[in-house]
Amino acid sequence: MRSNLYCYVSSGEIHVQFGTGCLKSVQHFYMYKSQFSIKNDSLSSLGGIRLAGSVVGGVGVIETTRILRSYSLVLVTEGKGSYRDDTGVSFNLLPGDVILIDPECKHWYGPDRGTVWDEIFIVFEGPLFDLWAENNLLDLRRKRLRFTPLNHWIERFVHTCGTQHNGNHKDQVKDVLRVQQLLYEVHEASQTDRGSSQDWLEKAKQLIQTEEDMHTVAEFMGVHYQTFRKKFKQKQGMAPQQYRIYLNVQLAQKRLAERDDPIYKIASDLGYCDEFHFSKQFKKFIGCSPSEYRQSVIERN
């Protein structure tokens, strides 16, 4: 079954309801409208998927904290947010981040205040997965895992969600096999960092364009700032802050060539406090001042 519906979690129990109505007696719940959702009332003796789906424009967990009786995997596909739990673990989240949550763990996660995000979630349970946890194949101490490329993991999560099996034993077993395969891939990726060097660099570049604080960028990349700075410089040939200046200079070149905006306005739009500082950095990268660059473009044309 794949349809638009509302999902509620209360006291560890999962409720699903069609339409726009809500459950009157629920005291602690979260609600979202999902792109698709699958709920299985019966599982095989080995376990299986209890609930899975894709949330578009979601707000995460509305309660202050929540406890589920099942394991859950959550892949953030768009937006930024954070996670915290009662063990003292907390971290920020970006697209490509996977959260692994164990049963009875009091937790919260969701997008940044005033924003929404997209996610794919899989809630599963059963003695087979308890064995995975007991043998440390589900490393529940590592709550956040970061994988690339994102499209690959979206495809894997959606495939694992499957379809509602309505108690069919054969489909129940297929559920177990799909979840095991995904868990194996997640485990292997977390151990070997399957993301390529280029994937790492591209993700870092994207963050540098959107985040002001380089320490925040380093945190999103899962390393200390000095480690991030060193690795980025090795791969890109310049430090992260210099790369940001380089991006600004590229934008300035485009503005100077295509528009007749005053140089002080271009400097202000790019976040510089004054035209002098902007011109100094521009000349350092290009070899001439912004006005000289604009004049050379006019002469070439």
Across 102-132, b (16+ Cβ under 10 Å) vs e yields bbebebbbbbeeeebbbbbbbbbbbebbeeb
Instruction: Give the per-residue SS3 of 277-294.
Output: HHHHHHHHHHCCCHHHHH
pLDDT by residue (tens digit) across 39-73?
888 899 999 999 999 988 888 887 788 999 999 99
pLDDT surpasses 70 at 180: yes
Question: For all residues of the chain together, what is the average pLDDT?
Answer: 81
Rounded Cα distance, 188 and 197, in Å: 17
pLDDT by residue (tens digit) across 229-244?
999 998 888 999 999 9
Q: Based on the fold, state whether residues 83 and 163 are members of the same structural domain.
A: yes
**Range of weakest confidence among 3-12, 249-258, 266-275, 291-300:** 3-12
DSSP assignments along 131-187, one per residue: HHHHTTSS-TT--EEE-S-HHHHHHHHHHHH----TT-HHHHHHHHHHHHHHHHHHH
Q: Based on the fold, state whether residues 266 and 289 are members of the same structural domain.
A: yes
Q: Based on the fold, state whether residues 222 and 250 are members of the same structural domain.
A: no
pLDDT surpasses 60 at 228: yes
Q: For the beta carbon of residue 27, count every other beta carbon within 10 angstroms.
A: 8
Q: Residue 118 pairs with which residues in a beta bridge?
A: 78
281: in domain: yes
Q: Based on the fold, state whether residues 146 and 272 are members of the same structural domain.
A: no
Number of compact structural domains in the chain = 3
1: in domain: no
36: in domain: yes
Q: What does DSSP say about strands 81-85 and 107-111: parallel, antiparallel, or unpaired? A: antiparallel
Task: List the one residue out of 181, 189, 192 whose CA is nearest residue 128.
Answer: 181
DSSP state, 31?
A: -
Give the three-class secondary structure for 224. Answer: coil
Measured CA to CA in angstroms, residue 6 lies from 37, 56, 157 at distances of 9, 12, 20
Q: Based on the fold, state whether residues 138 and 216 are members of the same structural domain.
A: no
Q: Based on the fold, state whether residues 249 and 295 are members of the same structural domain.
A: yes
Q: Based on the fold, state whether residues 169 and 204 are members of the same structural domain.
A: no
Q: Based on the fold, state whether residues 137 and 153 are members of the same structural domain.
A: yes
Kindly report the backbone phi and psi dihedral angles of residue 132, in degrees, each rounded to the nearest multiple of 5, phi listed first.
Answer: -55, -45
Residue 97 burial (10 A CB sphere; 0-12, 13-18, 19+): buried
Q: Based on the fold, state whether residues 177 and 252 are members of the same structural domain.
A: no
Q: The CATH number of the domain where 293 resides is what?
A: 1.10.10.60
pLDDT surpasses 80 at 23: no
**What domain range includes position 213?**
197-236
> Under a CB-based contact definition with an 8 Å cutoff, are residues 57 and 33 in contact?
yes
pTM above 0.85, yes or no: no
